[in-house]
Chain A
């Protein structure tokens, strides 16, 4: 309770500080406030365009998988909590479309986040719904990189049983809403492009006269996306003095005369995703709302369980959806911690790659193959000598485990994802669950599920499953176990 109080106090203090302007970032020397604002706008638009591009790629991939009938299940995925950021103290909830091709690593995942309109977070906006909810669509591998590799936050995966109809509805809903949102963002981006171009031309003409200036674009080489327009008078020489081809000598060039206009627009809202709020439509709330629309049962009153990501599994157990325990892969995080301990260092110190102990080589070489590969993948700043000796100790490429095997991104048995229509199916499913998760964990999960089941009257149960009656049969079968 004290902990919760502290969290609310920290929110209050953060909001207060922001509202009185005490949380402003320090201004760097030798750069004007205007230049700072322009730089941040350029960073924002570059990143936003990149996010949209990534989403498009994975949305297309999801659509193709659906067309080929490869999507066979659904999983709720919860990243453990972290103190790295205020809003991540209760974990992060996302969702996996399970397919039957390859390891889990290349399956498509979906998470809901706030789409910020600048490079810094305004917590007040997050409280009152000032940001749109944005659906991040990307591979489970990239989610693994983000949470497990970069932040040491293991992912818990909970099976959500479903049928083909539910899965199709979910994919269709997501793709329809995403495409609408993408169109809106593209529309405002193209308008912002025209506006920035007009403004820079207008100013340049006024300042230096018609045809006495040239206009260049700051853009992404690969995608061609434009982030800003720059006008320079013809009296200034071509090019800057800071390209990569130059040597490392300090630049003697002075700032050039120029007019710079970043392309800037506000991220768009999409009705079905709604507005992001910390206490309501956050990653968990938006996910519950999304799943509800396709018939995954959810309790009428969401309470705290339907709003806190790390309580979401409990919410779905209370909603009679998932009786089984999670699949949890902690090895990647554990191995890193164990190696740091053997070095007598903190994980952060080990990751810096500095002051490694003299016997580091021997310790690393004594690791199992999978752990060696984990360490090689995770420690970017590993000293060259240790990296080379680890690499030399590896077997040929074809004998090495895959990325999915290294990170334990295994597939669960297909039958766990199905809604059962008869006793034989359910018995087989429970048997598979016991083999996968262990008998005690499965029995404990079922006992808890049955307790929640008893809280429902027949009328309430009918209401809970009204959108997908297949759930009623599945629940009734589970009740008889």
Chain B
């Protein structure tokens, strides 16, 4: 009887901790990246608004509101006026670069749930260009959405919680799944 109870408890715990998909993992990383970026600004002293830092880190790796970045007059918001300084180190730039890669992967997963979106549709166009696909053979956003949803449902992109798929790896996975390589 005790063994049965223990088994039920273990199963219960496993169910409670299992991820339905990878989205929560990506979201956790996103927050973590912003928190770590905050620490960079102050050397551990704290006291910096997260939003401002996010803008700044976003600017470093080019994910500010416009896809052009921040220096094209007539198209951009010049969001740096509220920015707070970041102590730039090689790894902070790497972290920022990793952050944007995860951010783009997260966008692909979220857009795959909807079935369309600028990241998903742009990726379909890029693959069609790269592999010279058209007509019936063309990669559609729906095809990509179905593959991403499939991968997400089996936690393909977050099998290793410390090494989530960034955009580049996710695209490689999709290319393989599509049989383009």
> A residues engaging B (CB < 8 A)?
25, 28-31, 35-36, 38-40, 42-44, 46-48, 50-51, 54, 57, 60-61, 64, 84-85, 87-88, 92, 101, 105-106, 111, 113-121, 126, 131, 134, 136, 138-139, 141-142, 144-146, 149-150, 216-222, 227-228, 230, 239-240, 242-246, 248, 250-256, 258, 260, 276, 282-283, 373, 376-377, 391, 394, 397-398, 400, 402-403, 406
B118 touches A145 (CB 8 A): yes
- Interface positions of B from 64 to 94, Cβ below 8 Å from A: 65-78, 80-81, 83-94
B165 beta carbon closer than 8 Å to chain A = no
B179 beta carbon closer than 8 Å to chain A = no
A42/B93 contact (C-beta < 8 A), A145-B118, A397-B146 known? yes
The chain B residue with its CB closest to the CB of A254 is B43
The distance from the CB of A282 to the nearest CB of chain B, in whole angstroms, is: 7
For the complex, what is the distance from the CA of A36 to the CA of B85, rounded to whole Å?
6
B118 touches A120 (CB 8 A): no
The distance from the CB of A328 to the nearest CB of chain B, in whole angstroms, is: 21
Contact of A119 (CB < 8 Å), options: B33, B59, B85: B59
B3 beta carbon closer than 8 Å to chain A = no
B25 beta carbon closer than 8 Å to chain A = no
Q: List the A side residues contacting B40 at CB < 8 Å.
A: 242, 251
Contact of A121 (CB < 8 Å), options: B78, B99, B122: B78
B177 beta carbon closer than 8 Å to chain A = no
Q: List the B side residues contacting A222 at CB < 8 Å.
A: 97, 101, 168
15 pairs, CB–CB < 8 Å, chain A vs chain B: A30-B41, A30-B45, A39-B56, A48-B69, A87-B73, A118-B71, A119-B78, A141-B122, A142-B118, A146-B75, A222-B97, A228-B93, A251-B44, A258-B89, A397-B142
Contact of A30 (CB < 8 Å), options: B42, B59, B71, B114: B42
> B residues engaging A (CB < 8 A)?
29, 32-33, 35-36, 39-46, 56, 59-62, 65-78, 80-81, 83-95, 97-99, 101, 111, 113-118, 121-122, 125-126, 129, 134, 141-142, 145-146, 162, 168
Q: List the A side residues contacting B141 at CB < 8 Å.
A: 402-403
A136/B114 contact (C-beta < 8 A), A240-B90, A397-B146 known? no
The distance from the CB of B160 to the nearest CB of chain A, in whole angstroms, is: 12
A244 touches B32 (CB 8 A): yes
The chain B residue with its CB closest to the CB of A374 is B114
Q: List the B side residues contacting A116 at CB < 8 Å.
A: 71-73
B72 touches A218 (CB 8 A): no
Q: List the A side residues contacting B117 at CB < 8 Å.
A: 377, 403
Q: List the B side residues contacting A92 at CB < 8 Å.
A: 74-75
Contact of B78 (CB < 8 Å), options: A42, A120, A141, A397: A120
The chain A residue with its CB closest to the CB of B86 is A39
A111 touches B75 (CB 8 A): yes
For the complex, what is the distance from the CA of A54 to the CA of B35, rounded to whole Å?
30
For the complex, what is the distance from the CA of A50 to the CA of B70, rounded to whole Å?
11
The distance from the CB of A108 to the nearest CB of chain B, in whole angstroms, is: 11
The chain A residue with its CB closest to the CB of B85 is A31
A243 touches B95 (CB 8 A): yes
B98 touches A244 (CB 8 A): yes
B87 touches A400 (CB 8 A): no
Residue with the highest number of chain B CB atoms closer than 10 Å, among A30, A105, A141: A30
What total count of A-B pairs have CB within 8 Å? 225
Q: List the B side residues contacting A397 at CB < 8 Å.
A: 115, 142, 145-146
The 7 closest A-B pairs by CB, nearest first: A47-B69, A31-B85, A114-B73, A250-B44, A240-B91, A403-B116, A116-B71
A43 touches B67 (CB 8 A): no
A84 touches B77 (CB 8 A): yes
The chain B residue with its CB closest to the CB of A87 is B74
A136 touches B89 (CB 8 A): no
Contact of A141 (CB < 8 Å), options: B65, B74, B118: B118
A106 touches B114 (CB 8 A): no
A136/B87 contact (C-beta < 8 A), A54-B67, A220-B97, A377-B114 known? no
The chain A residue with its CB closest to the CB of B59 is A43
Q: List the B side residues contacting A394 at CB < 8 Å.
A: 114-115
For the complex, what is the distance from the CA of A323 to the CA of B122, rounded to whole Å?
33
The chain B residue with its CB closest to the CB of A399 is B115
Q: List the B side residues contacting A64 at CB < 8 Å.
A: 129
For the complex, what is the distance from the CA of A222 to the CA of B105, rounded to whole Å?
14
Q: List the B side residues contacting A60 at CB < 8 Å.
A: 129
For the complex, what is the distance from the CA of A117 to the CA of B72, rounded to whole Å?
9
Known: A217-B90, A244-B33. 8 other contacts (CB 8 A): A28-B84, A30-B42, A39-B86, A47-B71, A120-B80, A228-B88, A276-B73, A403-B121
Q: List the A side residues contacting B145 at CB < 8 Å.
A: 397
The distance from the CB of A181 to the nearest CB of chain B, in whole angstroms, is: 14
Contact of B81 (CB < 8 Å), options: A25, A54, A248: A25
For the complex, what is the distance from the CA of A195 to the CA of B12, rounded to whole Å?
62
Q: List the B side residues contacting A242 at CB < 8 Å.
A: 36, 39-40, 89, 91-92, 95
For the complex, what is the distance from the CA of A254 to the CA of B77, rounded to whole Å?
34
A251 touches B39 (CB 8 A): yes
Q: List the B side residues contacting A38 at CB < 8 Å.
A: 88
The chain A residue with its CB closest to the CB of B104 is A222
For the complex, what is the distance from the CA of A136 to the CA of B116, rounded to whole Å?
24
For the complex, what is the distance from the CA of A402 to the CA of B71, rounded to whole Å?
32
The distance from the CB of A221 to the nearest CB of chain B, in whole angstroms, is: 5
Q: List the B side residues contacting A50 at CB < 8 Å.
A: 62, 68-69
A46 touches B60 (CB 8 A): yes
The distance from the CB of B172 to the nearest CB of chain A, in whole angstroms, is: 12
A39 touches B67 (CB 8 A): no
Contact of B68 (CB < 8 Å), options: A136, A245, A246: A136
For the complex, what is the distance from the CA of A159 to the CA of B74, rounded to whole Å?
23
The chain A residue with its CB closest to the CB of B79 is A119
The distance from the CB of B49 to the nearest CB of chain A, in whole angstroms, is: 11
Q: List the A side residues contacting B85 at CB < 8 Å.
A: 28, 30-31, 35-36, 39
